[in-house]
Amino acid sequence: MAETAKEKGITKKEAVRQSLEVLGWDTPRSDIAKHIKEHFGHDMDLDHISSCKGDIRREAKQKKKKAATTKSPAEKSETTKPLKSAGISFDDIESVKSLVERVGADGLKRLIGMLSK
């Protein structure tokens, strides 16, 4: 008889993670619950699935952030070198991107117009 996911020690959170890899992040929670029940043998309510999805997202974000902060000195100097044509560093570009996300492209254009006068 085949071993179930419970017997193999696959947690509910891991079952959600694997289901998301197969089904995708936009899959409705009810479909994820069915997939988990069929493939892993776990019964999960919809709120628990949402909680696990949030945890998985946060962990991925932290892992990505940690990887970005553990760059070698050579990588760090490479990303802060100014662009040859305009003398703009990647840090400058990241700052502009952050402003665009916060105030929008039109808001940033207005700000630049005010500062350039």
pLDDT beyond 80 at 27: yes
pLDDT of residue 28: 95
- For the chain, the distance separating the N- and C-terminal CA atoms, rounded to the nearest angstrom, is 77
Buried/exposed code over 64-98 (b: 16+ C-beta within 10 A; e: otherwise): eeeeeeeeeeeeeeeeeeeeeeeeeeeeeeeeeee
Instruction: List the chain domain ranges.
Output: 1-70, 72-117
pLDDT beyond 60 at 82: no
Report, as an integer, the average pLDDT of 37-46: 94
